[in-house]
Amino acid sequence: MGNSWLRRLSPSAGDGSHMLFCFPHAGGSAISFGPLAKCLGPEYDVVAVQYPGRQDRRHEPLVGSVSGLVDGLLPELREAVEDAENFSIFGHSMGSVVAFEACRRLEHEVEARAKVLFASGRRAPSAALPELRMHLLSDRELGEHLLQFGGTPAALLEDPEFRQLILSIVRNDYRAIETYQCSADAMVGSPIVAIVGDRDPDASLAQIEAWGSHTSGSFAAQPFPGGHFFIDANCQAVGQLIRDHCARALSV
C-alpha cells in the first residue's frame, strides 16, 4: 500500500483478517495505535494513518484542514480497501472526524462501506464547538492545556526543541478541527459505535450519543473509565468492544 499515509501495525495478520484503519488524535501519530493492535491480535490487520509533519513525515508540510487530510489520504485508502475483504474504521478525538469524512468519501466515490465506524473521544461532527478556540492560545497556555489534558509527556514539553515542534503540530491540528464544519444531515451507511472516557473534559456521553444522527445504520454508545486518553488504560476492553461489534456487523 503506497506507504506514504498508511502504516501497518500488525505484520503477522493473515490474508483473511479484518482490516482496521485507525486515525490519530490531534498531535498524534500512527504509532499511538500500537498497543491496540497488540490487544486485537492476528485476526485484525491494523493499519494506522500517519498525518504529514510528524515522525517519519516530519519534513513534510502540515495539513491545516480536515478536508485536506482526507484529500491527501484517500487515494491510498481507496487502494487499501479494494484489497480488503472486510474493513472497519476507528478514529480517536480529531481522528474521529477525519475518519467520518473518509467514510463518507469511500461510500460516495467507490461504494466501499466500512463494517463499523468507531468514533472515540469526540463529540458528533455537527455538534457546536466550545467558544474557546484552542489554536488561538498562546504557547504557554497551549502547553499548560496539553499537560492537563494528558497524552503528552511532560519531559518533552520541557525540552525547548521538542516543545516548539509539539506545539506547532497540535496548534495546526486544533485549527483543522476548529474550522471544520459539518451539516446536521451528513451521514454514513456504516453502523457507528461511539466511545468516551467518563471523565473526558472534551466530550461527555450525552455529546457522543449525537453521533447516532449521522448514520443510517445501527448505533451504540459506551463509556469507559478514564479521561480523554482512556484507551491507554482500557486497551483490552476496547479491543473486545471492537471484536464484538465487528463480529455482529459481519453476521448481518
Q: From start to end of the chain, where are the E strands?
A: 6-8, 18-23, 44-49, 87-92, 117-120, 192-197, 219-224
Among 25, 214, 228, 245, the one annotated catalytic: 228
Beta-bridge partner residues of 196: 223
Backbone torsions φ then ψ of 228, nearest 5 degrees: -65, -35
Catalytic: which of 93, 96, 120, 190?
93
Amino acid identity, residue 47?
A: V
| C-alpha cell read off for 241 | 468492544
What are the grid coordinates assigned to 67, written together? 478536508
Indicate if 93 belongs to the active site. yes
Q: Tell me the C-alpha to C-alpha distance, in Å, between residue 86 and each of 177, 183, 218.
A: 29, 29, 18
228 belongs to the catalytic site: yes
**Rg of the chain on CA atoms, in Å:** 17
Q: Which residues are catalytic?
A: 93, 228
